[in-house]
Amino acid sequence: MTLKPRIAITTGDAAGIGPEVTVKALGDAKLRDAAEIILVGDAAHLRAVASRFAGPSVLDTVAIEDLANLPQDIVYGAASALTGKAAAENIVRAVELWKEGKIDAIVTAPISKNAIKLAGFDFPGHTEFLAHLTDTKEFAMSFFAGSLRVALMSTHLPLTEAIAFVTAERVAKLIRFCDREFGKLLRRKARIAVAGINPHASEGGMFGREESERIVPAIEECQAEGIDVSGPHPADTVFFNALRGKFDAVIAMYHDQATIPVKTTAFDRAVNVTLGLPVLRTSVDHGTAYDIAGKGIADAENMAAALELAIDLIRARM
């Protein structure tokens, strides 16, 4: 018998579109059959959402880890301590399932940072919460968009602070981290490209010194250690070349440098992958969409992509 990946899906903030996109994604029988899926959340609420938006049969072959943590009636479209607490409890339980050896990966539907904070869980988001629960000290956000894979030097910093954050020490540390983590995910040595900061990666110092002073020394140091890394590459071409297969991963120097090419090339299919966690975690690349919650019009393509990627990455390990 062929073993299937065991995937837990945390269904996100019930006041948003998380439960809806989850059950809609599971409407694809091929996805349901490709893995042993456990939904983590409130079973009664999930069955009600499935009946409204996807048909109750989509949950027939899916296990539910029922936390019974929601009331019968949910107020859609607003952050609350009630739904924030339930969303956080779902994440905690998913990590417990991994620690118990019952799952191989976690796929997360969107949560509200404000809602979980109202419930007493003071984390900037999923990534930091999962790092805390798994006692992970070194982690990074990345995006997978088909053959384009991008890791971020920093996330939510103002641009001036993001540029100041780039130091030779930090760049070298991230290169080593990406060499290790992308190597694990891809099951081979990764070819890493480092993006520059300035136009044309400063073109030999014509447009800035950040590349020569902060990025080049880090790359040369890592190359001497045997890491397959190159750059700094001009940001206006490096992502195109990665899409063409020249590189396995790109290290972007700041948030929008990474997300613009990712969302331009794969807006509905880009998947957030947390690098460094001991358990594989993929996630949708969108928020709770409170404005359309409960209306049945949410698109589940991104959730399906996150689930597909988790299945593919676990299969590669099996």
**Nearest-angstrom CA–CA distance, 65 and 92:** 12
Instruction: List C-alpha distances in Å: 19 to 54, 226, 233.
Output: 11, 45, 41
For residue 235, the model assigns a pLDDT of: 96
DSSP string, 5-51: -EEEEE---TTTTHHHHHHHHTT-HHHHHHSEEEEEE-HHHHHHHHH
For residue 1, the model assigns a pLDDT of: 42
Angle at which helices 301-317 and 18-25 cross, to 10°: 60
Amino acid identity of residue 30, one-letter, is: K
Q: Say if CB 193 and CB 182 are below 8 A apart.
A: no
DSSP string, 134-159: TT--S-EEEEEETTEEEEES-SS--H
3-state secondary structure of 204: coil
> For the segment 95-130, what is each residue's pLDDT rounded down to a tens digit?
999 999 999 999 999 999 999 999 999 988 899 999
Phi, psi of 66 (to 5 degrees): -80, 110
**Nearest-angstrom CA–CA distance, 129 and 136:** 10
Domains in the chain: boundaries: 1-136+277-318, 138-274
- Residues of the chain predicted below pLDDT 50: 1
Please indicate whether the domains covering 1-136+277-318 and 138-274 agree at the CATH topology level.
yes
Identify the CATH number of the domain defined by range 1-136+277-318: 3.40.718.10
* Angle formed at CA 181 by CA 175 and CA 183, multiple of 5 degrees: 95
DSSP string, 209-257: SHIIIIIHHHHHHHHHTT--EEEEEPHHHHHHHHHTTS-SEEEESSHHH
Question: Hey, what are 206's tokens?
Answer: 């014509």
Question: Hey, what are 257's tokens?
Answer: 């440098």
**Nearest-angstrom CA–CA distance, 169 and 121:** 32
For residue 2, the model assigns a pLDDT of: 60
* Angle formed at CA 26 by CA 20 and CA 31, multiple of 5 degrees: 150
**Nearest-angstrom CA–CA distance, 166 and 154:** 8
Q: Say if CB 19 and CB 45 are below 8 A apart.
A: yes
Say which CATH superfamily domain 138-274 falls into.
Isopropylmalate Dehydrogenase (3.40.718.10)
Checking phi first, is residue 31 left (phi over 0); if not, alpha (psi -120 to 50) or beta?
Answer: alpha
